[in-house]
Structure 1
Amino acid sequence: MIRTPWRRREEPLDHAELARLLPAPGDPELSSDRLSGLEEHLMTEIRNRTPDPAPDPAPDPVPGTAPDTSTGAPPAGLHEGAHASRPVRRPGRRPVLVGVAAALALAAAGVAGLAGSPGGSSGSESPGRAVAPPAGAVPAPVVQVVRGSTAGLAGAVADISGAAARAELPEPGPGQFLYVRSEVSWLVSWEGADGKNKSYVDKIHPREVWMSPDGRKGWLIEPYKEAVDHGGITLDDPEGGERTLNSPSYDYLRTLPTDPETLLKKIYDETRGMGNGPDQQAFSTIGDLLREQVAPPKLAAGLYRAAARIPGVVLVDDSVDAAGRHGIAIARTDEGDGSRTEWIFDRETYTYLGERTVQTRDAEGIKAGTVKGHTAVTDRAVVDAVKQRPAGSAPGERAPASATPSAGT
């Protein structure tokens, strides 16, 4: 029997009919593990990127005292928006040092991107405009901007640096880890359904970091949104890499000069061409070294004295950290965007409490007085293992407003 061979159907497929038969495609959404992995990869790429050569001329190695710019108004001859067309080159930083700002910004951007994406499940009325703010965000607090002054700055810095030099902290040994616990909150960018920018911040939440003295091993616990798993993520850096001011370790910090003049010159030289001008970048670099690091006492004292030599640095009589603790502050206003960064210290012990960033003028949809971010260091210590906490310290507990860090700068 002769069989007729099978022939492929020559009629074209009815794609419209086929689409009706198949189920509708799903709305893909990144899992928390995938989102965390992508953020860690991005931070690693940023850290490994070499800054572009800067054409800006080198500043005076030892800047003098400058007039008070704490009110947020541009200096004489500088008009608002003068920095708008200037490309900003920021240095790559290790996540452990800038995670408070950068990691949370990445997390907020990721969550906001998912919420406002077309076809998402957030109930957006139009692509890119979410009806509700990102999960976990609350309205940004607004405070009265207290004017700063250079009057009293020298005396306050002398007291602060003296307290830092006298701080008692065990020297970390082989196999030990530096531990820092903080309360943190930072600005969340969000565009409402009406197309207007809204000022929201993360809810204040705990953040814990462990880092080996050589910077090769570390761990981060920050149970916030979906950015970091509740068990934490690794900060291991097996290759070690070259240590710099923007990628330091405790061992590297011990090699830095403690003389304020020499130290400040090194900071200006190594950060040339980065940030919104040499003075602001120098101030930011010192802040990064103090925010989430355990600096040797003599170096911490030198950093404070060096900061006082930066033009535009002032003393603010009252500021409040993320734990609600009041204190005096060493501060500087970024001429580019009008945000003032304040390092807060206890009025009596002069211990470093935390940091606050306040908008001093209306800019980029953010009203003057808006608190763009604040932190509170509640513990610094040396421990024997990752995830080990100092005696008396428990995870997830917020420090009372009267508490002060137990050790460190």
Structure 2
Amino acid sequence: MIRTPWRRRDEPLDHAELARLLPAPGDPELSSDRLSGLEEHLMTEIRNEIRNEIRNLTPGAESLTPGAESLTPGAGGLAPGARNLTPDAGSGSRPTRRPGRRPVLVGAGAALLVAAAGVAALTGGPSGSGGPGSAAAPPAGTVPAPVVQVARGSTEGLAGAVADISGAAARTELPEPRPGQFLYVRSEVSWMVTWDGADGKNESYVEKLHPREVWMSPDGGTGWLMEPYKEAIDREGITLDGPGPSQPSLNAPSYDYLRTLPTDPDLLLKKIYDETEGEGNGPDQRAFTTIGDLLREQVVPPKLAAGLYRAAARIPGVVLVDDSADAIGRHGVAIARADEADGARTEWIFDRQTYTYLGERTVQTRDAEGVKEGTVRGHTAVTDRAVVDAIKQLPAAPAPGERSAPPTPTSTPTTSAGT
């Protein structure tokens, strides 16, 4: 095809004249309502597209299954410049979803994710607010991160405390879930969001404390998550069902899988080191994190829970902290370890009298990565663990006038020993 060659224009352009003839340019800034609508629409399209892609995956392919990373952008309505440091985006903010099983973003799904990033860029504040990726106001739905005095940790008394904790875990009366039943865990959670402020300095904010409820079948194939605080999780929750059979592992366990693990602490620790080789910030930290992941949002067989605590005490760098507090303010002793890479210390907190698992807290032990010493990077509190008959079913509540409900064949006490 013959194209007309481009020729240099001989006469000069009168830009002033052209400016008078052309209409005035529009305002490139979108309204906040319009931006919110675009973001919500794009996130909905992303979720739908990924679900469609997942359905086409062959068995054995990577997928969004229970424990996989989520595309949730963190707290609902995070302002531009905010980065949600929930799972696994930053040391010290511990995952609520296991690493190792990544969502597959192909075709239109990947394109939509890029488009969502473009909308996030459009939501940057007005000129002079600190540049791209910054915001003049703190992220919506967040509060300043708590700052605490960093308590000293020591190996003194660690062995005795672990003996008490593992003994309490082994004695837990846990009903064995039957096929068709579901393991239920309810927690109060809050994780860090780093805000790139208008002055260019990082400010530490955390999500407002909010509930998180998970139902999971014993085989791990069926589940449900309710965390309405999260922008990309529907008010009624989202499915955790897998697209097909998957191979369970320490990074993506099911209750049935956990029952097959050895309870001897030495054998457990060897398996953990072998299976997590090459992950995380060094083998010792990854082993500690893996055990913590199992305790946070699982119902673990009692003897295995006891073995996990004893295995954790054998990891170099693990210490006992005399006083720590979970997300709802319950105090107790803690088994803890600081990540050598960034100084974030994760503490598993146990009741002083019953030695039952209360929750977890991650505290910054030194200034690093823009996070000041003493900053609480995240904390959780387990408020219920039970075995129920259906998704969205809640454990039986105490009758009016009763102080607490005794354990039933389908329910465990609120403070079950980390299991």
Match of residue 137, structure 2, among 132, 140, 146? 132
Matches within 5 A, 1:23-102: 28-29=35-36, 30-32=38-40, 34-35=42-43, 38=46, 41=50, 96-97=66-67
Say if 1:375 and 1:97 are closer, same or farther in 2 by CA, change over 3 A: farther
- Using the size of structure 2 for normalisation, the TM-score is 0.73
Provide the C-alpha distance between the structure 2 equivalents of 1:321 and 1:17, rounded to a whole number of angstroms: 66
Superposed CA RMSD in Å reads: 3.3
Say if 1:267 and 1:237 are closer, same or farther in 2 by CA, change over 3 A: same
Contact 1:244 1:252 in 2 (8 A): yes
Provide the C-alpha distance between the structure 1 equivalents of 2:263 and 2:332, rounded to a whole number of angstroms: 26
Please give the per-residue CA displacement for 1:102-122, whole angstroms capped at 9, x wherever unaligned: 777x42598344879454286
Provide the C-alpha distance between the structure 1 equivalents of 2:75 and 2:274, rounded to a whole number of angstroms: 33
Please give the per-residue CA displacement for 1:211-270, whole angstroms capped at 9, x wherever unaligned: 001111100101114232211111111413111100111110011000000010000000
User: Are positions 1:351 and 2:359 aligned together?
Assistant: no
Match of residue 337, structure 1, among 323, 327, 342? 342
Q: Which has the higher contact order (CA 8 A, sep 6+)?
A: 1
Query: What residue number does 2:152 align with?
Result: 147
Query: What residue number does 2:188 align with?
Result: 183
Please give the per-residue CA displacement for 1:164-221, whole angstroms capped at 9, x wherever unaligned: 0111111110110000000000000111111100010001000000000111110010
Provide the C-alpha distance between the structure 2 equivalents of 1:263 and 1:339, rounded to a whole number of angstroms: 25
Please give the per-residue CA displacement for 1:373-407, whole angstroms capped at 9, x wherever unaligned: 0000000000000000001189xxxx9xxx95257
Matches within 5 A, 1:231-242: 231-242=236-247
Contact 2:75 2:229 in 1 (8 A): no
Moved over 6 A (4+): 14-19, 21-25, 92-95
Deviates more, 1:241-250 or 1:15-24: 15-24
1:134 Cα deviation after fit: 1.1
1:32 Cα deviation after fit: 3.8
Paired residue type of 1:111: L
Contact 1:167 1:408 in 2 (8 A): no
Where structure 2 has 5 or more consecutive residues not aligned to the other structure, the ranges are 1-17, 83-118, 405-412
Contact 1:361 1:367 in 2 (8 A): yes
Please give the per-residue CA displacement for 1:23-49, whole angstroms capped at 9, x wherever unaligned: 97956554446436747959x99xx9x
Say if 1:406 and 1:285 are closer, same or farther in 2 by CA, change over 3 A: closer
Matches within 5 A, 1:10-409: 28-29=35-36, 30-32=38-40, 34-35=42-43, 38=46, 41=50, 96-97=66-67, 106-108=73-75, 111-113=78-80, 117-120=120-123, 125=129, 126-392=131-397, 404-405=414-415, 409=419
Provide the C-alpha distance between the structure 1 equivalents of 2:393 and 2:362, rounded to a whole number of angstroms: 31
Paired residue type of 1:306: A
Paired residue type of 1:282: A
Please give the per-residue CA displacement for 1:352-388, whole angstroms capped at 9, x wherever unaligned: 0000000000001110000000000000000000000
Paired residue type of 2:78: V
Contact 2:80 2:134 in 1 (8 A): no
Percent of residue pairs identical = 68
Contact 1:117 1:127 in 2 (8 A): no
Contact 1:178 1:211 in 2 (8 A): yes
Paired residue type of 2:142: A
Paired residue type of 2:394: R
Where structure 1 has 5 or more consecutive residues not aligned to the other structure, the ranges are 1-13, 49-91
Provide the C-alpha distance between the structure 2 equivalents of 1:383 and 1:114, rounded to a whole number of angstroms: 41
1:408 Cα deviation after fit: 5.4
Contact 1:114 1:120 in 2 (8 A): no
Provide the C-alpha distance between the structure 2 equivalents of 1:340 and 1:238, rounded to a whole number of angstroms: 36
Query: What residue number does 1:76 align with?
Result: none
Aligned length: 340
Provide the C-alpha distance between the structure 2 equivalents of 1:122 and 1:236, rounded to a whole number of angstroms: 39
